[in-house]
Chain A
Amino acid sequence: MAKHVVSVVLLWAALTAVGEALVFADLFPTVGSHEAEDFDQIFRVLLFMGIPVFNFVVAMLVHSFLRFRAGGPQEGGATFKGTGAIPKVWLLLTSCLAVTTIIYPGLTGLRKLQSEANGYGWADTKGTLIIHVQAFQWGWQYDYQEYDGEKLAVSVFSLHGDGNELVLPLEVGARFEINSTGAAYDFATEEPSSGVLHSFWIPAFRMKIDAIPGRTTTMTVKPTELGDYGRDPAYRVQCAELCGLSHTTMDTPVRVVSQEEFKTWLAEQAKATKK
């Protein structure tokens, strides 16, 4: 018995050591925002906790598979039924593990998500750049409302492949107020339909929230890295809720620029809108 325990522990340790290398691997797309750093951090913590658990099961299975087969090299003949202390210890250990995971990174992460000033999805925190997002079948419209207290009248209408971008300034909290409208035109019935569900998602920022007809949802992010779709597909707005025929192509390029560039861009857009 003892030698089996030793060999399983060794196997488990080896598998875990190899597995934990994943924690240091770069699994993620570009870290484009403050929130993305937190996401990657929590993901790594969960990976760090999950790999030993999974590998314990694997080690037990592999060892039993190799050493306890009938007619193979085994001692066998055990008859214990698992009515003693082991199940109780197991129950205690797994409960501790579950409670730990719930508290950290679960609830602590959630608290950060909902209260921190830089704002995750649902927190009602003020970004200084306010953008109304209207999702429709199948594209996006971005109405820039306010920047640093100044009212804006800039609007970007974007369909798949037309190159119109969502432009965001670096290191500025951008608050998206998202709605879904029925602006779409149904080619089959030739009738405009009212709004359906969409989901506003930018992979580089690790954030998404649904666009719902009749409700406004909010999401605040602070970009921390310059980037654009041309060089990095993680910089895109992607619909993440099946919304009908062209759901697959309901995406828009995103470009993060410096604050000066953003002001120039705003001025250009304002001019173009006036014309």
Chain B
Amino acid sequence: MWALRTLSGGLGMGLLFFYIGIGLTAVLRNWFGYPEVWDRDFNVTIGYVFGLLGWVMGMGMWGSWGREWFGLRTHSYYIRGWQRYFTWSTDHKVIGVQYLATFTIVFLLAGLMAMLMRLELATSGLQFFDKSQYNTILGLHGILMIAVAVAAVVGGFGNYFVPLLIGADDMAFPRLNALSFWLIPPVALMLLITPFMGGLEVGWTAYPPLSVQTQTAQGFWNLAIVTFGLSSILSGLNFVVTIIYMRAPGMTWSRLPMFVWSMFVTAWLALFYTQGFAVALLMVTLDRIAGMGFFNADDGGDPLLYQHVFWFYSHPAVYIMILPGLGIALEIIGHFSGKPLFAYRYAVGAFLGILGLSGVVWAHHMFTSGIPNYLHGPFLVMTELISIPTGLIFLSALGTIWMGKLRLTAPMLFALAVIFNFANGGVTGIFLADVPTDIHLQDTYFVVAHFHYTIVGGEIFAMFAAMYYWFPKMTGRMYNMKLAKLHFWWMFIGFNVTFMTMYWPGIQGMNRRIADFPAAMDGINFFISLASFGLGAGFLVFVGNMVYALFWGPAAEANPWGARTLEWQTSSPPPLENFDEPPMVTGHPYDYGLPDAPAHARFGPGLPAGTPAGGGGGGGG
């Protein structure tokens, strides 16, 4: 019972360290002469830091890593069967599945919360929840979905498929990878107990001074998000090193699959910007537990500081969410169009351009926040310039399907829907980047509709595209294609009806994050609620299809789609070392329909003459 042994080790050590931390804090407070040794927020915060360390150590970090720091022998185990998903596994495929399973559950849970919100919003007045419950559901829906958007594709598909796509046998730092994942369960735990600690009041943005003043639950929330940020930074670091140094021989930068390119850019963003969220919440935490005055205007602090630091991360964060989505869309469109990917280099340039611009646009979230006049112009210009690199991604997608031989499977349908939805979200984004229109539209349902079009329409659709595309590779089984297509049309129509309509109450003056609204908007809100229930019900098709296929689906071939990239050239699911023989990349991944194009890769020892070196000059597999 390895799973039980590992989990109980983690939980036991976590609890033990948590109590040690609390006790130590009390002792130190006594020593430094504080009148009270127990301050709930303070002691629990320090206890949490200890508990987190105990948890990851107990889960297996001690055995496989920590002993090394003390000069002791480390040991690692390879567990077969389902139990490996509950242990400290350093296999990137196991970690990918761990991420995916965790965040699929979180996604469905947060989706359920959206349904509860629409239930309350079906008519004006308060029917089902009180204000506090509504605010809590609102905040949890927000932050859980942000977590899904940040980590499901990056952590799940990124971990599973980046090493496969570049012909590596694992990530560069497998133990760091395991640590990144096992930091997630405490995050989920801390977030899910907030409703029982007084609830959340401040939404996912947690603006102070309110977030400094509210209940203990907010303190838990802060700790959870800082932990999540740490996990995100570590996995970003891992991806950067992996993609630079672990590429197989011949896998030059100009042969890198689009998904890997998008993950490369995303990893830099995560590595560079996530600190903003962590630092912002560190300041809130210090204000809360140590009585400091970052945001206390009475003593010279400034609430606007938080917004600058917070959006310094949180705008690039939307690219952390959307770029892997666009990468998946281009990847899948590239494989299902029967002709070469259009303007590959321009699409790569687009990703790099977005990487460059993403850090200098954050204040467009603050046009109505009272920032000085002179900041509006530059941020308007920078923000609208981002439309240029984004346009190149559309060029690549549309150029690829033009005159192609499209195979309209479920993954392809979802990938095409990403392009449709993101075009909508992109065009409406201009209204929000433009200061004069943003003044009215800021904090209305127009914004809600816009970011659901980009994040759900862009990334979550891409997540389902990837799910249907790579499911046979991950599980070795095939799902029912008819049901998958049914799920697509259901979700596509339900999504568009729900959110296209939502622009209108926004323009009409319905602000977001409210449980109640003027009765004049009853009709449109009732319609949106009905549409959203329809959208929600569609996921039952997905869950049913996947669960059935997982246990009883027919066995999948190694390469059911006839795709050229490396992950399809090995068995389904891949063996522990990914490839039986070391791969050598000999051609471009998207050269479909070209009769004399060389194969993307061949296997076996010995480099053919003239093969360019891959990452770091090191041999692969």
Contact = CB atoms under 8 A, between A and B. Distances in A.
Interface of A: 1, 4, 27-29, 38-39, 42-43, 46, 49-51, 53-54, 57-58, 60-61, 64-65, 68-70, 74-83, 86-87, 90-91, 94-95, 97-98, 101-102, 105-107, 109-110, 112-114, 120-123, 188, 193-197, 199, 201, 203-204, 206-210, 212-215, 217, 233-234, 236, 238-249
A75 B338 CA distance: 12
Interface stretch (B24-32, B55-63, B437-445, B579-587): B437-445
A248 B515 contact: yes
A248 B516 contact: yes
A210 B301 CA distance: 17
A244 B215 CA distance: 11
A190 B250 CA distance: 69
B298 A80 contact: no
B219 to A, nearest CB: 15
A105 to B, nearest CB: 7
B493 interface: no
Given A60-B398, A81-B340, A194-B209, A39 B436 contact: yes
B407 A70 contact: yes
A102 B440 CA distance: 18
24 contacts: A29-B507, A46-B434, A53-B423, A54-B427, A76-B405, A77-B405, A80-B339, A82-B343, A87-B346, A106-B434, A114-B373, A122-B376, A188-B215, A194-B213, A197-B303, A206-B439, A208-B442, A209-B368, A214-B301, A215-B304, A233-B518, A244-B202, A248-B517, A249-B131
Contacts of B297: 194-195, 212-215
B368 A64 contact: no
Interface string B536-556: 000000000000000000000
A195 B407 contact: no
Residue among A61, A107, A196 with the most chain B CB within 10 A? A196
Interface string B292-317: 00001110011110000000000000
Interface in B100-148: 131-132, 134-135
Contact of A70 (B203, B338, B341): B338
A61 B213 CA distance: 50
A76 B384 contact: no
A166 to B, nearest CB: 16
Interface in B568-585: none
Given A212-B303, A240-B444, A54 B424 contact: yes
Contact of A64 (B381, B406, B439, B593): B406
Nearest to B401: A64
A20 B18 CA distance: 61
A193 B209 CA distance: 10
B436 A38 contact: yes
B268 interface: no
A262 B343 CA distance: 64
Given A74-B405, A121-B368, A196-B209, A242 B513 contact: yes
Contact of A50 (B205, B416, B428): B428
The binding surface of chain A is classed by DSSP as: mixed
Given A94-B387, A109-B434, A244-B201, A27 B392 contact: no
A95 B385 CA distance: 8
A221 B388 CA distance: 35
Given A106-B434, A241-B207, A248-B514, 10 more contacts: A57-B419, A57-B423, A60-B402, A64-B402, A68-B403, A82-B341, A105-B436, A195-B209, A241-B443, A242-B201
B443 A110 contact: no
A179 to B, nearest CB: 10
A69 B408 contact: yes
Contacts of A193: 213
Nearest to A50: B427
B344 interface: yes
Contacts of B620: none
A43 B135 contact: no
A98 B384 CA distance: 6
B534 interface: no
A58 B345 CA distance: 24
B65 interface: no
B83 interface: no
A61 B514 contact: no
B384 A102 contact: yes
Interface residues of B, number: 93
A98 B439 contact: no
Contact of A39 (B210, B345, B440): B440
B342 interface: yes
Contacts of B381: 102, 106-107
A238 B509 contact: yes
Interface in B433-482: 433-437, 439-440, 442-444
Contact of A122 (B215, B373, B387, B419): B373
B395 interface: yes
A87 B395 contact: yes
B501 interface: no
A29 B508 contact: yes
B185 interface: no
A180 to B, nearest CB: 9
A253 B395 CA distance: 49
B377 A209 contact: no
A2 to B, nearest CB: 12
A110 B379 CA distance: 12
A246 B402 CA distance: 53
B370 A215 contact: yes
Contact of B202 (A46, A215, A242): A242
Nearest to A191: B213
A65 B413 CA distance: 9
B440 A206 contact: yes
B384 A214 contact: no
B399 A110 contact: no
B368 A199 contact: yes
B403 A76 contact: yes
Given A64-B406, A238-B511, A245-B201, A197 B399 contact: no
Residue among B203, B341, B370, B384 with the most chain A CB within 10 A? B370
